[in-house]
Every structure is written in C-alpha cells, then in structure tokens.
Amino acid sequence: MEENSAEEHHYYYPLPASAPKADSNLSDAEKGGTCAEENSLHNKPSTSQSNNPGINKYALGGAILASTNSILLGYDIGVMSGAALFIRQDLKITSVQVEILVGCLNVCSLIGSLASGKTSDLIGRRYTIMIAAATFLIGAILMGLAPSFLFLMVGRVVAGIGVGYSLMISPVYVAELSPALTRGLLTSLPEVFISVGILLGYVSNYAFSSLPNDINWRIMLGVAVFPAFAVALGVLAMPESPRWLVVKGRYEEAKQVLIRTSENKGEAELRLAEIQEAASASITGKDKGCSSSDSPNNSGTWHGQGVWKELLVTPTRPVFRILVAAIGVNFFMQASGNDAVIYYSPEVFKEAGIVNEKQLVGVTIIMGITKTCFVLISAMFMDRFGRRPMLMLGSCGMAMSLFLLGFGCTFLKLYGDTHDGLVIALCVVAVCATVSFFSIGLGPTTWVYSSEIFPLRLRAQGSSLAISVNRVVSGVVSMTFLSVSEAITFGGMFFVLGGVMVCATFFFYYFLPETKGKNLEEIEALFEDQTRPV
C-alpha cells in the first residue's frame, strides 16, 4: 500500500480538521506530536520514512536478546500442559488443584507486571529484563526441586512474578529501540519467542515423558533454569533504551544508540532531537496541565511520578482512548482462551478422541510447530499490512475455528462411542487453526500495539497496567477452564469463546486506529478527537 495513502487507508479514525496531516514530507513532531507540534521541529525532514531500508542489525540484535526472555513464559505454558498429567499422578492432586497450579502463575504475574512499570522508569529497561530472568530462574529451581504440592506452588508464584516483569518490559524495550518501519516485526519477536518456548516445552514433555512419574515432571520444569540464566547474561550485551536515556538526561548515550539503530548519523541526530522535544514537553507537562509537584523541571530526576494519576484519575481524552485500546486488546487476547487451550491441550485432545498419552504429547508438538510457523509469518507481514488487518483476520479466523471445534466436541460427546476418525481429525485441525489464527493476530499484535501507543511519559506504567489486565484474565480463564467445561461441556466452552472473538472483531474495528509506519512520538495524535467511520 502506498505511503501517501496512509491517511485514507491506514487510519481507522480520520484526524480532525485541526490535527496535522500525516504527510511524508512533515516531521514526526508535525504528524503526531501533541507535545512538540507547535515547536521548531516543523521545519525538520521526516525521519520515519527512509528509502525502503532493511532491518537494522543492531536493533535486531537488541530485540532478539530482549525477546529471548519470553521463551521462559512460553516454555512454562508448553511444558506445564504435559507436566500437569504427571504431577497429578505423582502428587495425587485433584482437578481443582491442577487448575490452581496452572493458573496461579498467571495470577501471580500480576505482581510483576504492575511493579515492572515503576521499576523500568527507575532503573531502566535493560536491568528490568535482568530482574525478570533472575526471578524466573529462582522459580524454576524451586519447581524442579519441589517435594510437595505446596512447595511447587511457591515456585510457581516466584516464577509468575518473573513472567509478569518479562511480559511488560520486553515489548516496551523493543518498541523504544526499533526504527518505525520495522517496529512491528521487531516488537513481534517476544510472541515469536513465546511460541518457540511453547514448542520447546512440548518437546521436553515428549523427551522426558518415559521417565518415572516422580522424576519426569521435575526435569521438565527444572530445565527452564538454563534459558533463564542465559537471558540474565545476555542483558550485559544489550544497549539501554534511547528514549529512557533521554528522559534521564543522558543525551550522548542516547545518541550513540540511535546512531547504531539509524541509517546514518544525520537521521540519528534528527531522531534524537524529536525524542528530546517530545520528552521535554511531555514530562514537564507543559500541555498536559500537570502541576510542578507532579512533574520535575529536570527530566533527569523524573522516575515516573504522577503517571498513575494521569492514567486513572485525570486522563485526557486521548489518554483515555489509549488506555481503552491497550486494555481492550490485552483483555481479548486472554479472553480468547488461547492460553487455556494450550495449557489443557492434552485434555482438549482427549475430548477430541485421542487417549494414548504418548500420542497426546505428540499431537501437542504438531500444534506447537504450527503456532510457531504462523507467528513468524505474522511478524514478517505486520509492517506491510498493519496492525488492525492482522488483528481482525486473526479474531475472525479464531471465531470460525472455535465454532468448528465446538461442533466437533459436541458431536463426539453425543456420539462418542463411534470414535469417528473424520470428526477427530476435524477437532485436531480446529485446535491447530485456533492457535494459528491467534498467532496471526492477537498473539504478536497485542504486544506491539500496547507497547507503542502510550506516550513516553506513560509508556512503561501504562503498558504495565494493560499487561496486568492481560494476566488477570489469563489467570481467571486458566483456573476456571476445566470446571466450566465440565459444567457446560467442552463444546459449549468453545462456542462461548467463539462468541468472545466475534465481539473482539467489532472492538478492533471501532476502537483501534492504525499505527503502522508511525514513530512513537507521533502516535498519540491518532487518539485525538476523531469521528467514527460511516
């Protein structure tokens, strides 16, 4: 799609007459800056549009190192789906205890996601990633050595806090490091690594499932120590976020990072000037009505104070719309039931007619491969097609797949004695299609969207709030999935989840403007007073 048609085709909300036009000849501040649009940046050439540059290797390296942290969550999701079978047999726990064991990691990750925003504003994005990896490492050790269900729960709680830190900080760091034209791809990498981690978890299930039941699940959970340790070491080779460095007044360091993530030194200097301009106006609250007690005069002393007040107590209309968009996309990501389907995939496949434990684990590996392939495809095309099309394609596809899965499970429930091979195959395909469409849309795009739409002053703590909603919904769905499915059948559960995805599609259409190709400093303008499409 041609860049000069962005306003006509890319934006869901047309800008009001008073808002600056999204013209490729205007600067970032002119196109989007509510903070800097009235300042001297009007005369600067745009840095968001280069002549079809490739992927910056330095930005790619930093994004990969940060996103590797997400392997830890993916591995836990994947490995627990199989380990829970053996934990249940070894520790003699009930279905309710299994639900609590599985879901508590998501609920406890709420602690990490809420704390991560303030932590990253205080000590930086880079060291917050190290905290995430170190916390998960401790949790993995505790889970692998757990002599009882209670001890195992303690390990899950600790690991959950690390997961919460990781889910917020990785996308935010990558978004702040990445050039605008490849931000979608690079910020999708956390979801790519989550999918890789899930696949590794499935492989671990398959590899260790033949061991005695009192050993196999401990090894499955304990081997997560190794990637956690590698991530903690990898942080030492990562640059700090240039936008965080600007907020702290460390301009020379920020410039050096921008030089390495830009096409040339001139582009880096322009990007630095734009970030400085936006950060200065934003953090001092010149056009936000902030009091001097909320905003310091010196950006180097700013540690995120006053952000929660602006987000929840006195939000402006653009900030309120940003918050609705970020919370909404995170809510629907987990309300889709994807995590629960993956956590309980053996139970789902049992319902679909597969009863052999080795076959169950084998089918989950196929599902993991499918999921990983589709998230890679989504990441590669997100910067070409945009966020909204990928989201709506994914949610529509999930709705159809879930309805199909609900039909198949209902048929097997009513006529289960026949074990119709065609219906069983249909259910397996429907499960794989569900996770594949999730990987096309909600999976990667949620992290991209919620990390890029907040203004700099609100980004870390605003993202942490949105991710907290993500974690709460994930925990609730994971901890009730089996119980609700027993009450209304698996088929009924999938029909409900399909209905949720229909609602998600309408939400994405009406509330999410397109952010493709925009610098972080210009995105806030998309949420100014806009009219609804006819």
Q: Which backbone phi and psi does 60 adopt, to 5 degrees?
A: -65, -45
Sign of the torsion formed by the C-alpha atoms of 94, 95, 98 and 100: negative
Highest mean pLDDT among 17-21, 298-302, 358-362: 358-362
- The Cβ of residue 495 has, within 10 Å, a number of other Cβ atoms equal to 18
- Mean pLDDT, range 264-275, rounded to an integer: 84
Contact 87, 213 (CB under 8 A): no
Compare 87 and 534 and report the one with higher pLDDT: 87
d(CA 398, CA 334): 13
d(CA 255, CA 322): 29
Q: What is the pLDDT of residues 109-132, one digit of tens each?
A: 888 888 888 888 888 888 898 888
Q: Which of 449, 439, 437 is nearest to 325 (CA)?
A: 449
Contact 241, 418 (CB under 8 A): no
3-class DSSP assignment, residue 478: helix
Asked whether residue 286 carries a pLDDT value surpassing 50, the answer given is no
Asked whether residue 46 carries a pLDDT value surpassing 70, the answer given is no
Of 10-19, 360-369, 451-460, minimum mean pLDDT range:
10-19
The pLDDT score that the predictor gives to residue 284 is: 54
Q: Who's near 293: CB < 8 A, 6+ residues apart?
A: none
- Mean pLDDT, range 506-526, rounded to an integer: 86
Q: Who's near 166: CB < 8 A, 6+ residues apart?
A: 69, 70, 72, 73, 112, 129, 132, 133, 136
Compare 236 and 506 and report the one with higher pLDDT: 506
The pLDDT score that the predictor gives to residue 45 is: 42
- Mean pLDDT, range 197-206, rounded to an integer: 84
The pLDDT score that the predictor gives to residue 329 is: 95
Q: Which of 458, 500, 382, 474 is nearest to 121 (CA)?
A: 458
The pLDDT score that the predictor gives to residue 355 is: 65
- Mean pLDDT, range 288-305, rounded to an integer: 47
Asked whether residue 28 carries a pLDDT value surpassing 60, the answer given is no
Contact 447, 188 (CB under 8 A): yes
> How far is the CA of 1 from the CAs of 120, 432, 442, 520, in angstroms?
36, 31, 22, 21
- Mean pLDDT, range 197-204, rounded to an integer: 84
d(CA 466, CA 326): 6
- In this prediction, residue 438 has a pLDDT band, given cuts at 50, 70 and 90, of very high
- Mean pLDDT, range 450-465, rounded to an integer: 87
The pLDDT score that the predictor gives to residue 108 is: 83
Does an H or E element contain 396, and which? helix 387-414
Q: What is the pLDDT of residues 144-178, one digit of tens each?
A: 888 888 999 999 899 889 888 888 888 888 888 88
Tokens representing 90? 């070894």
d(CA 446, CA 430): 22
Return the DSSP state at 528: S
- Mean pLDDT, range 246-273, rounded to an integer: 86
Highest mean pLDDT among 209-213, 238-242, 424-428: 238-242
d(CA 69, CA 192): 11
Give the chain's end-to-end CA distance (angstroms, integer).
22
> How far is the CA of 502 from the CAs of 13, 429, 505, in angstroms?
21, 20, 5
The pLDDT score that the predictor gives to residue 22 is: 37
Compare 511 and 266 and report the one with higher pLDDT: 511
> DSSP letters of 47-83?
SS--SS----HHHHHHHHHHHTTHHHHHHHHHHHHHH
- Mean pLDDT, range 498-502, rounded to an integer: 95
Return the DSSP state at 292: T
The pTM assigned to this predicted structure is: 0.72
The pLDDT score that the predictor gives to residue 529 is: 58
The pLDDT score that the predictor gives to residue 534 is: 32
> How far is the CA of 473 from the CAs of 109, 332, 333, 395, 468, in angstroms?
11, 9, 9, 17, 9
Residue 188, phi-psi category: left (phi > 0), alpha (psi -120 to 50), beta (remainder): alpha
Return the DSSP state at 239: P
Asked whether residue 188 carries a pLDDT value surpassing 60, the answer given is yes
The pLDDT score that the predictor gives to residue 390 is: 93
Q: What is the pLDDT of residues 366-421, one digit of tens each?
A: 877 888 888 888 888 888 888 999 999 999 999 999 999 888 888 877 776 555 67
Q: Which of 128, 103, 23, 82 is nearest to 347 (CA)?
A: 82
Compare 180 and 251 and report the one with higher pLDDT: 251
Average pLDDT, the chain: 78
- In this prediction, residue 277 has a pLDDT band, given cuts at 50, 70 and 90, of confident
- Mean pLDDT, range 97-102, rounded to an integer: 82
The pLDDT score that the predictor gives to residue 193 is: 87
Residues above pLDDT 90, as percent of the chain: 13
Does an H or E element contain 91, and which? helix 70-91
Compare 223 and 3 and report the one with higher pLDDT: 223
> How far is the CA of 392 from the CAs of 46, 98, 527, in angstroms?
30, 33, 19
- In this prediction, residue 326 has a pLDDT band, given cuts at 50, 70 and 90, of very high
CA dihedral 156, 159, 160, 163 (to 10 degrees): -150
Compare 103 and 71 and report the one with higher pLDDT: 71
* Domains of the chain: residue spans and CATH: 56-237 (1.20.1250.20), 308-533 (1.20.1250.20)
